[in-house]
Amino acid sequence: MSIITDVRIQSITPLISPAALRTQLRLDDDAAQKILGNRQQIDRIISREDPRILGIVGPCSIHDKKAALEYAQRLKGLADRVSDRMLLIMRTYFEKPRTILGWRGLILDPHLDGTYDIAYGLELARDILLQISTLGLPVGCEMLDPIVPQYIDDIVCWAAIGARTTESQTHRNLASGLSVPVGFKNSTSGNLTNAINAVKSAASPASFIGIDTDGNSSILRTTGNDKGHLILRGGSNSPNYYQEYVEEAAAMMEDMDMIPSIIIDCSHANSRKMYTRQKRVLRSVIDQILRGDRSISGFMLESNLNAGNQKLHSDASQLEYGVSITDACIGWDETEQIIMDAYEHLSTKEA
């Protein structure tokens, strides 16, 4: 008899259930309370009930547990210093969307060698998130694979849907059921409509097929996520962090009966993919806030222990410590400096 199913499937390997991994790497009560408190603060900032702003700051992608935890320790210290004006969230991205080919992130390829030890990747990602959350530092992830959140979403405090997946109904459904605020990035072309429609869509109840924590295929029904917001990341023709673009985005959200809540991505097309320009974008963001813009709820920075990036080496032991293997990042010293500069400027607002 001819084979007519799984013709292109090389192998199928059972995966640990989300419930089993959560038991293996358990979130303790103290960390859970810290996460809950951070989520509540983020909710209020996104809703513009809290005048502070969010700062989603960290590596373009995490590939090294030791470096990630060192970065988290430093960021926690900085977060405590600026907490009356901004709430810092560590960018902990474990999945990387690819236009064609490339390393797809720590969860899918934790050994950085194309072996795709996904079971270990899930375990490693959860372990990293647990250790960071124990510090009381909130973490934020891009949600790319719709199954992955079941393994980590109890720890996450903020989530993003990327420019390539904002139009996806699967990701809008996913966002509608997440327990945290979700930012939708505008399309790579710079189009805002798709992302604003996504925010509106995710606020509505949805029903879709997914898995439960035991790994069973299930129908998931959601209540909708009222903490969706827009992330401006620039487009193929120009950046979109300037005041006129922010005002346009806010007006479009108001036209759809939404409270404008906008995060400015200081990297990607807004910096023309030149990481050293992120400080320019952040300065503009702070200036707009000081001039009275209430729609801006935060900013994003791609930052690592050391500046720049490096190619993924066939021998991971040869990689330079604390340097990105995906997009180039600013180093820690510059990160600390520009965030403190932003904080000091914000502190003059009510002086």
Residue 3 domain-assigned (yes or no):
no
- Residue 91: give the domain boundaries: 18-347
E strand or H helix that includes residue 91:
strand 86-91
Has residue 1 been placed in a domain?
no
Taking a C-beta distance cutoff of 8 angstroms, is the pair 304, 323 a contact? yes
Residue 3 has pLDDT above 90, yes or no: no
What average pLDDT does this structure show over 260-273? 96
| pLDDT higher than threshold 80 for residue 314 | no
Kindly state the DSSP code that residue 182 receives in the 8-state scheme: E
pLDDT at residue 315 in the model: 81
Assigned domain for 276 exists: yes
How is 281-310 classified by DSSP, letter by letter?
A: HHHHHHHHHHTT--SEEEEEEEB-SSSBB-
Is residue 177 one of the residues assigned to a domain?
A: yes
pTM of the model: 0.96
Segment 323-330 shows an average pLDDT of 97
DSSP run (H or E) holding 160: strand 158-161
- Residues 90-140: tens digit of each pLDDT: 999 999 887 667 899 999 999 999 999 999 999 999 999 999 999 999 999
Q: What's residue 350's pLDDT?
A: 62
Q: Decide: 278 and 302 in contact? Cβ < 8 Å.
A: yes
Residue 2 counted as domain residue:
no
Residue whose structure tokens are 């992330």: 231
Q: Assess if residue 61 is contained within a domain.
A: yes
Domain count, the chain: 1
Asked whether the beta carbons of 89 and 138 are under 8 A apart, the reply is yes
pLDDT, mean over the chain: 95
* 316 part of a folded domain: yes
With a pLDDT cut of 70, the percent of the chain lying above it is 98
* pLDDT of 313: 80
How far is Cα 190 from Cα 238, in angstroms, rounded to an integer? Answer: 8
**Largest Cα span, the chain:** 81
Asked whether the predicted pLDDT for residue 333 surpasses 60, the reply is yes
The pLDDT of residue 348 is: 87
What's 137's domain CATH number? Answer: 3.20.20.70
Q: Is residue 8 situated within a structural domain?
A: no
Angle formed at CA 86 by CA 182 and CA 263, multiple of 5 degrees: 35
Quick one: pLDDT at residue 250?
98
- Position 64 scores a pLDDT of 97
CA 179/CA 207 separation, integer angstroms: 16
DSSP letters, 131-153, are HHHHTT--EEEE--SSSTHHHHT
